[in-house]
Amino acid sequence: MIVRVLTLFPEMFKNTLGTSILQRAREKALLDIECINIRDYTDNKHKKVDDYPYGGGAGMVMTPQPIFDSYKAVINSLGSAINPKTIYMSPKGKPFNQQAAEALAKEDCLIFICGHYEGIDQRAIDYLVTDEISIGDYVLTGGEIPAMVVIDAVARLIPGVLSQEESYQEESFYSGLLEYPHYTRPRDFRGMEVPEVLTSGDHKKIDNWRRRKSLEITFKKRPDLLKNTKLTAKEVKIIQELKDSL
Ligand code: SAH
């Protein structure tokens, strides 16, 4: 997957994109990421990238010229065979979730535009952007952290990025439920013991325990998720029991 990030602060991405699983994905050429500094494309000699909002009000707005020109440079460098999605990170965007990450992971190329200050001139959104995405109902200082969140969530779903052992199929949200709890060595840590079933070697029992825990945790912490999850008759019964025990 090709990822291009238009930002005023490319240095913010260095560590995140150059560490751990994302770095490995880049080394395996599964991910080709580049950050482009919007400021490099300003056509004024002071390299100014923002201005006062028309109509007044607080804060500064990122001007359209360097955004349009840096975007054009990226498009030209990609060539005509590539049909990217252009994402503007914005609190006004569609709330991001695992389903959205799965859909984006199927794309060949994503271009992110990161706003800063009050955001970017609306014309850049109207003419360049295909998707506006929010990472939650709160306002951050810039789109850089949100873009990193989306890149991270999407990149780990690209086939080959996670190893077999790191597989995401059992993780929270994949099946619609939150994940079961994890334990590792030692078996007895200062008197706190690992649930016995996990050391029984009986895989059927372990699977049942994990699914039950998943149901319990989801019921307790995120009951809203249960509405969109396919459950077996036995699982529906478990949920009913949990409700009755309240
Ligand atoms: N004035 C805007 C907020 C600007 S915050 C408003 O009220 O809607 C500055 C930049 O940070 C935005 O342009 C956007 O790129 C980014 N940003 C802030 N919060 C975000 C969020 N929850 N999700 C995605 N991007 C966000």
Annotated binding residues for S-adenosyl-L-methionine, written as ranges, equal 115, 135-140
Domain termination site, one of 142, 164, 186 = 164
Cis peptide before 186 (omega within 30 of 0): yes
Domain termination site, one of 164, 186, 203 = 164
Q: For ligand 1, what atom is nearest to the CA of residue 120?
A: 13
Instruction: Please give the distance, rounded to the nearest whole angstrom, from the Cα atom of residue 89 to the centre of ligand 1.
Output: 7
The tens-digit pLDDT sequence of the chain (246 residues) is 999 999 999 999 999 999 999 999 999 999 999 999 999 999 999 999 999 999 999 999 999 999 999 999 999 999 999 999 999 999 999 999 999 999 999 999 999 999 999 999 999 999 999 999 999 999 999 999 999 999 999 999 999 999 876 778 778 888 899 999 999 999 999 999 999 999 999 999 999 999 999 999 999 999 999 998 999 999 999 999 999 999
Q: Are residues 117 and 79 in the same domain?
A: yes
Q: Give the CATH number, domain containing residue 191.
A: 1.10.1270.20
Q: To which residue do tokens 């809203």 refer? A: 224
Q: Are residues 237 and 187 in the same domain?
A: yes
Total structural domains within the chain: 2
| Ligand 1 environment, Cβ below 6 A | 89-92, 114-116, 118-119, 134-136, 138-140, 142-143, 146
Q: What number of other Cβ atoms are within 10 A of residue 13's Cβ?
A: 22
